[in-house]
Each structure stands twice: as structure tokens, then as C-alpha cells.
Amino acid sequence: MKKYVVWSGWKLVGLSCIILGMWSGQGLAQTPAVVVQELEDRWLYFDEEYEAYVPWLGAAEQPTHTLSLELKADSLQPYQLRFVTTPELCLFVNQQLYKCYDRTDTLTVPLANLAKQFATSQLFLTFYHPQRVAGAIKAPQLILPKQAVAPPALETSEGPVLSFARRPVDRSFQDTLMLSLLVLCSLYVVAKNSAPRTFGAFLNFRKLFTASVYDYTPSSQRTWSGVIPLLILINSVAIGFILLSLQRFIPFQLADIPFFEGDYTLTGRFVRLSLIALFYYVFIYLTIHLLGWLFSIRQAADVHFYEFTRFTTLMCLLMILLILGDMQAHFLGQKFFVIGLAATALGFTLLRIIKMVVVLNKSLPYKKVYIFSYLCATEFIPFFVVIKYLQVYTK
């Protein structure tokens, strides 16, 4: 009986050790890691038309067998690359086969080890999958874990191996964005130096939330006086810059738009987008003043267009700051970037409509139905026309 108790006790201790070891092993294997950056927005795709790598827009627009990443291991030395493998997925590093995988798994590879193994700090990673199916190549993550997993040894093959020659990365899109930004900054400087007080009044965010009729001087009721024409030009260029930056994620074409047919460079595309914004500005001006003449409220129409220009100026500045922040830090993904810009535009539009309702109610001796009809014609209808326009000419 005593031997049985001792033997049972030893079995209990052994079983406890096994369970404790398994629990400890799982704890080590699941060491938490800090996700530094999702690398989905940094995918590069080889475009046969441009014969260069361009930003990848998604499987629906650009189906492909290969997706690539360019990383600098010297600046990312403490970080590691975490990615999900799928059957038949192959990873190439600097045109050399690194590993082919036969099952779905999550792996972590230190960038420092890759740089040491391939004797270079410039890593060009290419993920290849024989099938063009969504999800076959999943976007990796840049992480900062507490434990490093040693990468597998370099695989070699005696037979023919797919060769991915490293082609030049197309920087023309980023260069065009920077050029358009320089033009925009120059125009802002000219406007600020031409009329500091008027320009400062336009950039006053507090004015967005005040609805006093005494805020409008006689000069503000003259549309084509002072710095307002220059601000109209600046806002048109700013909208062109915003639309051009959106083409990173929404590849709409301009070839089908009347009067804009033809093949243009990226700079020409920026000019065309700015001209479209300027034409829209002219359309809004004519609509507001034509209806102001019909409703016999010309002075209110001048104030309305003045507020339209003020709201557009501040909206464009906020969007440009959002775009620059995302270009620098990549803190927004594709979905949140587009949603953020759309929410900003919608928020400024609704705020402008609310303010104009209050201002017109205070300054005009008309019924609310009369004022509402005017705002429907000048605000709501153009807004829905733009939405319909985007649905037709974006694809």
C-alpha cells in the first residue's frame, strides 16, 4: 500500500512537471510583440506598362503572382518581420530563393539576420504564389518582439528557379506630389504676404463657429477684391493635390471626362485635376450669384461665397496636413485614409450649411422656407451632383 502511494505520488509529480513544461513552452512561444507598422501600404507591384515597381492598389485592380517590399535593415535593425505563410508560397530575398513553404503558419524573421546572411543592408523581399487568389499573399508586419526566431538557412535548387530581377522602383508619383506641394506652398506664401490680415481671417478656425452678421465688412462682400481671387486659385490647386494623392488608393481615370481626353504625365494629371476644381469653383460662384439675383439677396450671396471660400481653404489645409502625416509616418491604412478625407469634406460641408442657415436667418427678413429653398439650390444640389459625378467617373 505504501509503495502504491509513493508510486502514485511520483506519477502525480511527473504529470505536474509535464503540464508545467507544456504551459511554460506555450508561454515562451507566445511572447507578446509590439506591432510597429502594418506593411500593406508598402507593397510594390511590377507594372508592365511602366516597366517599374509601383504601389500596389489591390487584387481587384492589379492581380499578380508577386508582391515586393523594400526595407533598409540598417535603420530597422532592432525590428523583425512577421508574416503568414500559405502552401506554395515562396520568399525571395534580393533575387535569391530564401524559403518555400508547404503549410499555413506565422513566422518571424529578424531583419538583422537577413542583412547578415545576404551581406547587405538593402533588402528587397519578393513574395511569390503560383495562384492569383485574394489572400494568397498576406501583408507582413514590422514588429519589435522580446524574442527572435533565427531564419532558416538559404535554400538552393539544382533545377530551374524563378528569377525576380530587381527593377527600379517608380518614384515619379512621390516626386509629382512633392512638386505640387512646393507650388502650393509658394502660393500660400504669396497670399500671406499680399494681405496678411485678410489671409489670417481666413485661417481663423474660431470664425467657423461664429454666425454674427457684423463679421462681414463691405470688402468681404466684393468677391473679386483683395486676396480672395488668389485664394480661389490656391484652393483649386490644393484640391488637385488632394485628388492626386487619393489616386494612390482609388485609381480613377480621367480619360473619359469631356475636354480631358488624351494621355498625360503625372504632372499633367495634377494640372487637369486642378482645372476641374477651378471649374467647379466657377460653377459654385455662378450658381450662388444667379440664385442671389433671382431671390433678390445679392449681398447675402456675396457673404455666402465668402464663407464657401473660407471653409474650403481650412478644409484643404486640414486635408493636406493629414496627407503629409500619412506620407511621412504611414499611420493610416488605405481604408482609414480615404474615410478620413471623406469625413473631413463631409464635416466641413455640413458645418458650412448650418452656419449659412443661422447667418441668413439673422440677416434676411424672409421665411425659413424661402431661405431653405435658396440653400437647397446652392448647397444640397451641387453636393449631390459631385457625389453622382464621382460615381460615374471613378472606376
CA 354 to CA 377: how far, in whole Å?
A: 15
On whether the CB atoms of residues 213 and 358 are closer than 8 A, the answer is no
pLDDT of residue 155: 44
Share of residues in the chain with pLDDT > 90 (%): 5
Mean of pLDDT values over 263-268? 69
pLDDT at 237 over 90: yes
pLDDT single digits (tens) 341-372: 888 888 888 888 888 888 877 777 666 666 77
Considering only 127-131, 156-160, 247-251, 377-381, which range has the smallest mean pLDDT?
Answer: 156-160
CA 82 remoteness from chain centre: 23
Q: What confidence category does residue 316 fall into, taking pLDDT thresholds of 50, 70 and 90? A: very high
Mean of pLDDT values over 292-296? 81
CA 347 to CA 342: how far, in whole Å?
A: 8
pLDDT of residue 78: 72
| Better pLDDT: 11 or 265 | 265
Mean of pLDDT values over 19-24? 40
CA 64 to CA 132: how far, in whole Å?
A: 6
| Better pLDDT: 260 or 53 | 53
Q: Where are the domains of the chain?
A: 33-145, 172-393
Residue with cell 471626362: 257
Q: What confidence category does residue 206 fall into, taking pLDDT thresholds of 50, 70 and 90? A: confident
Q: Which residues of 90-127 are buried (b: 16+ CB within 10 A; e: fewer)?
A: bbbbbeebbbbbeeeeebbbbbbebbebbeebebbbbb
pLDDT at 331 over 60: no
Give the bridge partners for 80, in sequence order. 110, 143
Helices (H) and strands (E) in the chain, counts: 10, 10
pLDDT of residue 50: 64
Rounded to the nearest 5 percent, the helix, strand and coil shares of the chain are 55, 15, 30
pLDDT of residue 352: 87
Within 8 A by CB and 6+ apart from 64, the residues are 45, 46, 56, 132
CA distances from 204 to 200, 211, 230, 251, 350 (A): 6, 14, 18, 34, 18
pLDDT of residue 234: 92
pLDDT of residue 19: 40
pLDDT at 236 over 90: yes
pLDDT single digits (tens) 131-188: 765 566 777 776 665 554 444 444 444 444 444 455 555 567 777 888 888 999 999 8
pLDDT of residue 85: 84
CA distances from 92 to 63, 153, 378, 385 (A): 19, 13, 57, 48
CATH number for the segment(s) 33-145: 2.60.120
pLDDT of residue 20: 38
Considering only 46-55, 308-317, 328-337, 375-384, which range has the smallest mean pLDDT?
Answer: 328-337
CA 103 to CA 85: how far, in whole Å?
A: 7
On whether the CB atoms of residues 351 and 208 are closer than 8 A, the answer is yes
Within 8 A by CB and 6+ apart from 272, the residues are 240, 254, 260, 264
The bridge status of strand 80-85 relative to strand 105-110 is antiparallel
Q: Please state, rounded to an integer, the average pLDDT across all residues of the chain.
A: 72
Closest C-alpha among 277, 299, 274 to residue 359: 299
pLDDT single digits (tens) 208-217: 777 665 566 5
